[in-house]
Amino acid sequence: MRDPLNTAMPPTEAVTHLLQPVIDRAKREPGKPVAAFRVDDEFADVTAGEFHDRVRQLAKGLMASGVDAGDRVALMAHTRFEWLLADYAILAAGGTTVPVYETSSAEQLQWIISDSDAVLLVAETPAMRAMAAGVAVETPTCREAFVIDEGGLAELERRGAGVDDAQLDARITGIGTDAVATIVYTSGTTGRPKGCALTHRNLQANVLQNIDALREVLEPEEVTLLFLPLAHVLTKIIALVGTEWGIKLAFASDMAHLQEELAMVRPTMVVAVPRVFEKVFNSAQSKAHTEGHGSIFDKAVEVAIRWSRDHVAGRHRPITAAEHAAFDRLVYRKLQAVFGGRMRFAFSGGGPLGERLTHFFNGAGVTVFEGYGLTETSPTLTLNRTGAWKPGTVGRPLAVTAIRTGGDGEILAKGPQVFGGYWRNEAATSETFADDGWFRTGDIGELDGDGFLRITGRKKELIVTAAGKNVAPEPLEDRIRAHPLVSQAVVVGDARPFIAALVTLDEDAVREWAAGHGRGDAAAADLVDDETLGAEVQAAIDDANRSVSRAESIRKFALLPRDLTIESGELTPTLKVRRSIVEKSYQHVIDGLYS
Amino acid sequence: MATDLETAESMAQVHTLADGTRVLVRPLLPGDRAELAAGYEQLSAASRRRRFFATPDRLSEHVLDYLTNLDYRTHFAWAAFAIDESDSPGIAIARYICDHQDATVAEIAVTVLDRYQHRGLGTLLTQLLADVAVRNGVRSFVSYVLWENADAVARLRDEGARISTAEPGMARIEIDLPTPPDTVPDATVHPILSAVADGVRQLLARLHDLER
C-alpha cells in the first residue's frame, strides 16, 4: 500500500507570522498593486506601500483604544477592502481577529462576542452596532464598537496618531508564531458554535502548502476577485495566499454586481463554492434554451465533458477534438467571458462539486481545482492540481500533510495546518483528536491507489449546502418541533442552494385545530395546502430561524400528508428518526422545494 | 413469555447495584404510562437526545401508546424502580422491539434517569433484556447511536460488534446474541456457548456505556 504521508517539503521552516509578507512586500515592491476596490465606475488599486502604511495607522488606533497583545477583536462585515485592512491591523496590534458573518443573528453575535471575550467590535453598519448594543449587557468585555460605514476606521487612525512607531514595532516583533491569529466560529451538531483557534503558524503553513501545490500554475501577475465571505476560512486562505504570492486582491462590491465586476476586474483565478459554478452553468444553460440554442448548448456540454475525460485519460480522439474546437468559439468562449475572459483556473471547496460539472468547466477552458479541508485545518488538507488532477476526488494531500482513514472509514489528518483546539473548550477539543494525535475530520472517505482522496460520507449530523455553509439540522428541528401542531421536522439541504424543512403534523392537535377553524373533521392529509395552517407552521420556522444566520435559515418548508412511521422505516422501532429514509420517501417533495 | 399482568409480575426481581442501591426490576406494564411520561420530562437534554436523537419537550399520546402497549414477545421492556425511596419511583426502562420484517432482529433502547446513571443499572437491564430476547427467538440486537461517541464505538468494534454507518451522524451497531442453551442439548457444547455468552455480556455492557 502507498504511504499516505506526503513528504514533499515546502519551506515550512520559513513560517513566520502573518504580518511578515505584508512588511516584506512593502519594502521590496512598494508600488505593486496588492488590492483593489470599486470607486464609482472603476477599480482603484492599493499599492503594497499604501496598504502597509494603513495597516500600521489602524493598528496604532487599536492600541490607543486599549487593544493589548493577545486581545480579541470581533470583525463583522461583508467581504470588502476594509475587512482585510482591519484584520491585518488587529494582528499588527498583537490581537486576534474574531470574524462574524454579516448575516449572523443577534443570538450568534452575542454568543461569539461573549465566548471570545472580544474587547472591541469593528462592524460594517450602524445596524450591526445596534445588534451588538442590544446584547452589551451580557458581553461586558466589549468596550466599544467602530462602524466602518460611519468612518469608524478613520476615527481609529486619528486616535493612533499619538502612538509611537517604536511601540507598534515592539508589538509586531512580539507576535509569536504560535499566537492565535483568528478564532473562527463553526456550528457543531449540537450546542453553541465552537471557536476554532487558528495560530499564525497554522495559517502561514497552509499558505505555503497551497503555494507549493500551485507552483506550476501561479504566475507573477495574478488577479483575483474576492466575493465570498472572508469570515469563511476558505476565502481567507486565498487572501493570505494572495498576500504571500503577490496576487492582486480585488474586492467585489456585492453579489448583485458580481457579473459586472468580473468583467471589470477580469480575474485570472477565483475561489468559489460549488453553488457558484452550478449557478454559472445553470444560467448559461437557461439562457441558451430561451434563446433557442438549447440543443447546441447541450451538445457542447456533452462534448466538453467527453473531451475533458479523454484529456485526463491521455486519450486523443480526432472527432471529439474537432467537435471541441467547433464549440470553442460558439459556446466555451462565451462561458469564459462570464468570468471576464482571462480566468485560467478556479478553486472549489466547502462542499462537493459534481464530477460532470468539473469536466464540463475543464472542457470549456476553466480548470477547477477542487480541494478539501475544514475550518479546523486552516482549511486546506488536499487539493487537485496540475499534473495531479482527478475530478470526483478532492485531490492528494498537501505537502507535510498526512491523511489516513480510520477503521470506520473516517478521514484522519495530521499536519502543521491542523489547529490545536477549540477556544476555551477542552471537552470538544479532546473529542476531536484521536488518542494518537490524529485530527478527526468527521468525514468518511477513501484514498485511492494513486493517493487521491474521495469523500463518500459524513459521520457528523451536518448538512453542507451548495454554498458551503455547514448547518446542524438538530437544533433547528428541535425548535420547530416545539410548536404544538408539529409532530416531526426533518431539515434538508445537503448540496442544495438553501436549507428547507419537511414537517409532519400532530394528528390530534391538527384535528382540534381543524374543528376550531371551520375545517370540520379534516385530517393532516387534507390540510397540507391550507394557507392558514401553513402560516401557523411558518411561525415555528421563524422561531427556529432566529437562532441562526441567514445562510443557515430555513427558506421553504413542506407539510407532509402523514406522520413518519415505523413501517416505512422512517422511524426505527424505538422511534429514532432515520433522516436519509425520510429524504428518500419524500424525494419528490424535496425536489419540488428546490425547483 | 409473559402476556398478562400476572406473568409479568411473576418475573419481578430485586437487584442491588454496586453502590448499594436496591432496585425492583419487572416488565413494563400499561399502568406505568403516567410515570413514563413524567420520567421523560425529568431527563436532561443530553439523555433525551441519546434516546430519540431529538429533544422534544414531552412525549405525545401516540408515542406513549406505542411505548406502553407491549406484547412481551416482539416488544418487551424492563422497568426499574428505586424501592428504598418513598413511592418507589421508576428510574429506568430498557426495551427491545423486533424489526417488523425480521423478528430475529430487535432494536434496543435503554434509558436511565440522569441521577441514577453511572451505577451499572443500564448494563444490568441490558443483560436482563438479552436473556428475555434470546428466549423469545431474537438472534441479534441492533442499536443506533450517535457517531459522536467515537471512542466507545471503536471499542465495540474491537470486541466484535458489527458497526456500520446508518447515515450521517448515526452508527448502527449489531451484536449477535448467544443461542439459547436449552436448544443445544450437547453438554460439551454448553461451556463454549457460556463463554460466548460471557463475551456478549461484555459487549452489551459496552453498548450500554455508549448509550449513557
pLDDT score for A225: 97
pLDDT score for A2: 32
Residue A5 clears pLDDT 80, i.e. is over it: no
pTM of the full structure? 0.80
Cβ-nearest to A566 among B100, B165, B170: B100
Render pLDDT for A525-541 as a digit per residue (tens, 0 to 9).
Answer: 999 999 999 999 999 99
Residue A141 — pLDDT band, cuts 50, 70, 90? confident
Render pLDDT for A162-204 as a digit per residue (tens, 0 to 9).
Answer: 999 999 999 999 999 999 999 999 876 667 889 999 999 999 9
pLDDT score for A7: 42
Q: Which of A427, A455, A460 is nearest to A442 (CA)?
A: A460
Cβ-nearest to B57 among A458, A474, A482: A482
Task: Please state the rounded mean pLDDT for residues A363-379.
Answer: 95
Residue A355 clears pLDDT 80, i.e. is over it: yes
Contacts of A530 (CB under 8 A, 6+ apart): A519, A522
Render pLDDT for A234-281 as a digit per residue (tens, 0 to 9).
Answer: 999 999 999 999 999 999 998 889 989 999 999 999 999 888 888 888
Render pLDDT for B29-50 as a digit per residue (tens, 0 to 9).
Answer: 888 999 999 999 898 888 888 8
Residue B171 clears pLDDT 60, i.e. is over it: yes
Render pLDDT for A556-575 as a digit per residue (tens, 0 to 9).
Answer: 999 999 999 888 889 988 88
Cβ-nearest to B49 among A190, A408, A431: A190
Pairing state between β B105-112 and B140-146: parallel
CB contact under 8 Å between A474 and B53, yes or no, is yes
Residue A425 — pLDDT band, cuts 50, 70, 90? very high
Q: Does B93 or B148 have the greater pLDDT score?
A: B93
Q: What is the dihedral of CA B39, B42, B47, B51, to 10 degrees?
A: 30
Pick the residue of B141, B148, B173 with the most A CBs within 10 A to test the interface with A by mutation. B148
pLDDT score for B46: 82
Q: How far apart are CA A134 and CA A130, in angstroms?
A: 6
Q: How far apart are CA A445 and CA A403, in angstroms?
A: 10
Cβ-nearest to B168 among A407, A461, A567: A461
Cβ-nearest to A440 among B62, B144, B150: B150
Catalogue all structural domains in chain B, each as residue range(s) with its CATH number: 5-211 (3.40.630.30)
Residue B186 clears pLDDT 60, i.e. is over it: no
Which of A40-54, A550-564, B174-188 is predicted with the least confidence, judged by mean pLDDT? Answer: B174-188
Taking the Cβ of residue B187 and every Cβ of chain A, the question of whether any pair is shorter than 8 Å is answered with: no
Statement: A316-460 belongs to CATH 3.40.50.2300:
no
Taking the Cβ of residue B182 and every Cβ of chain A, the question of whether any pair is shorter than 8 Å is answered with: no
pLDDT score for A1: 30
Phi/psi for A575 (5° steps) reads 80, 30
Render pLDDT for A573-589 as a digit per residue (tens, 0 to 9).
Answer: 888 888 889 999 999 99
Residue A484 clears pLDDT 80, i.e. is over it: yes
* B165 neighbourhood in chain A, CB within 8 Å: 408-409, 444, 457, 459
Q: Does B195 or B114 have the greater pLDDT score?
A: B114
- Written as nine digits, the cell of B153 is 464505538
Nearest CA in chain B to A472: B169
CB contact under 8 Å between A407 and B157, yes or no, is yes
Question: 10 Å Cβ neighbour count for B175?
Answer: 21
Residue A94 clears pLDDT 70, i.e. is over it: yes
Residue ranges of chain A assigned to CATH 3.40.50.12780:
18-175+220-267, 316-460
Q: How far apart are CA A27 and CA A49, in angstroms?
A: 7
Q: Which of A223, A289, A288, A230 is nearest to A262 (CA)?
A: A223
Q: How close, in Å, is residue B176 to chain A by CA atoms?
A: 18
CB contact under 8 Å between B167 and A580, yes or no, is yes
Residue B145 — pLDDT band, cuts 50, 70, 90? confident
Q: How far apart are CA B200 and CA B209, in angstroms?
A: 14
CB contact under 8 Å between B165 and A408, yes or no, is yes
Residue A330 clears pLDDT 80, i.e. is over it: yes
Average pLDDT across chain A, whole number: 91
Nearest CA in chain B to A487: B60
pLDDT score for B2: 43
Residue ranges of chain A assigned to CATH 3.30.300.30:
464-594
**Residues in chain A whose Cβ is within 8 Å of chain B:** 189-190, 406-410, 431, 434, 440, 442, 444, 457-462, 474, 477-478, 481-482, 487, 506-508, 563, 566-567, 572-580
Residue A302 clears pLDDT 90, i.e. is over it: yes
- Written as nine digits, the cell of A370 is 477542487
pLDDT score for A101: 92
CB contact under 8 Å between A508 and B61, yes or no, is yes
Terminal Cα-to-Cα distance of chain B (whole angstroms): 29
Cβ-nearest to B60 among A462, A487, A580: A487
Residue B192 clears pLDDT 60, i.e. is over it: no
pLDDT score for A576: 85
Question: 10 Å Cβ neighbour count for B157?
Answer: 15
Question: Which B residues 73-102 touch A at CB under 8 Å?
Answer: 75, 95, 97-100
Residue A449 clears pLDDT 60, i.e. is over it: yes
CB contact under 8 Å between A508 and B98, yes or no, is no
Q: How far apart are CA B158 and CA B69, in angstroms?
A: 37
Q: How close, in Å, is residue A567 to chain B by CA atoms?
A: 7
Taking the Cβ of residue B44 and every Cβ of chain A, the question of whether any pair is shorter than 8 Å is answered with: no
Q: Does A24 or B61 have the greater pLDDT score?
A: A24
Statement: A18-175+220-267 belongs to CATH 3.40.50.12780:
yes
CB contact under 8 Å between A577 and B54, yes or no, is yes
Q: How far apart are CA A214 and CA A222, in angstroms?
A: 12
CB contact under 8 Å between A431 and B150, yes or no, is yes
Q: Does B181 or B74 have the greater pLDDT score?
A: B74
Cβ-nearest to A573 among B49, B52, B97: B97
Task: Report yes or no: B119 and B17 within 8 Å, Cβ to Cβ.
Answer: yes
Cβ-nearest to A460 among B107, B109, B169: B169
Task: Report yes or no: A185 and A195 within 8 Å, Cβ to Cβ.
Answer: yes
Q: How close, in Å, is residue A461 to chain B by CA atoms?
A: 4
Q: How close, in Å, is residue B169 to chain A by CA atoms?
A: 4
Nearest CA in chain B to A473: B54
* A481 neighbourhood in chain B, CB within 8 Å: 54, 56
Residue B151 clears pLDDT 80, i.e. is over it: no
Reduced DSSP (H G I as helix, E B as strand, rest coil) percent helix, strand, coil of chain B, to 5: 40, 25, 35
pLDDT score for A202: 96
B125 in helix, strand or coil?
Answer: helix
What sign does the CA torsion over B202, B206, B207, B211 have?
positive
Pick the residue of B44, B157, B167 with the most A CBs within 10 A to test the interface with A by mutation. B167
Task: Please state the rounded mean pLDDT for residues B184-212.
Answer: 55
* B57 neighbourhood in chain A, CB within 8 Å: 482
Render pLDDT for A79-89 as a digit per residue (tens, 0 to 9).
Answer: 999 999 999 99
CB contact under 8 Å between A508 and B100, yes or no, is no
* B49 neighbourhood in chain A, CB within 8 Å: 190, 474
Nearest CA in chain A to B153: A408
Residue B158 clears pLDDT 80, i.e. is over it: no
Report DSSP state, residue A401: B
- Written as nine digits, the cell of B146 is 450517535
pLDDT score for A222: 96
Pick the residue of A487, A576, A581, A584 with the most B CBs within 10 A to test the interface with B by mutation. A576
Report DSSP state, residue A340: T
Task: Report yes or no: B162 and A455 within 8 Å, Cβ to Cβ.
Answer: no
Q: How far apart are CA B172 and CA B165, in angstroms?
A: 6
| Number of inter-chain CB pairs under 8 A, A vs B | 97
Pick the residue of B28, B51, B55 with the most A CBs within 10 A to test the interface with A by mutation. B55
* B162 neighbourhood in chain A, CB within 8 Å: none
Q: What is the homologous superfamily of the domain A464-594 according to CATH?
A: ANL, C-terminal domain (3.30.300.30)
Q: How far apart are CA A301 and CA A324, in angstroms?
A: 10
Pick the residue of A433, A435, A575 with the most B CBs within 10 A to test the interface with B by mutation. A575
CB contact under 8 Å between B169 and A459, yes or no, is yes
Residue B200 — pLDDT band, cuts 50, 70, 90? low
Q: How close, in Å, is residue A402 to chain B by CA atoms?
A: 20
Q: How close, in Å, is residue B43 to chain A by CA atoms?
A: 16
Taking the Cβ of residue B119 and every Cβ of chain A, the question of whether any pair is shorter than 8 Å is answered with: no
Q: Does B97 or A547 have the greater pLDDT score?
A: B97
Residue B183 — pLDDT band, cuts 50, 70, 90? low
Altogether, the residues listed in chain A come to a count of: 595
pLDDT score for A9: 44
pLDDT score for A8: 46
Residue A362 — pLDDT band, cuts 50, 70, 90? very high
Angle at A112 between CA A107 and CA A116, to 5 degrees: 150
Task: Please state the rounded mean pLDDT for residues A356-370.
Answer: 94
* A460 neighbourhood in chain B, CB within 8 Å: 147-148, 168-169
Residue B84 clears pLDDT 60, i.e. is over it: yes
CB contact under 8 Å between B98 and A431, yes or no, is no
pLDDT score for B197: 56
Nearest CA in chain A to B99: A573
* B69 neighbourhood in chain A, CB within 8 Å: none
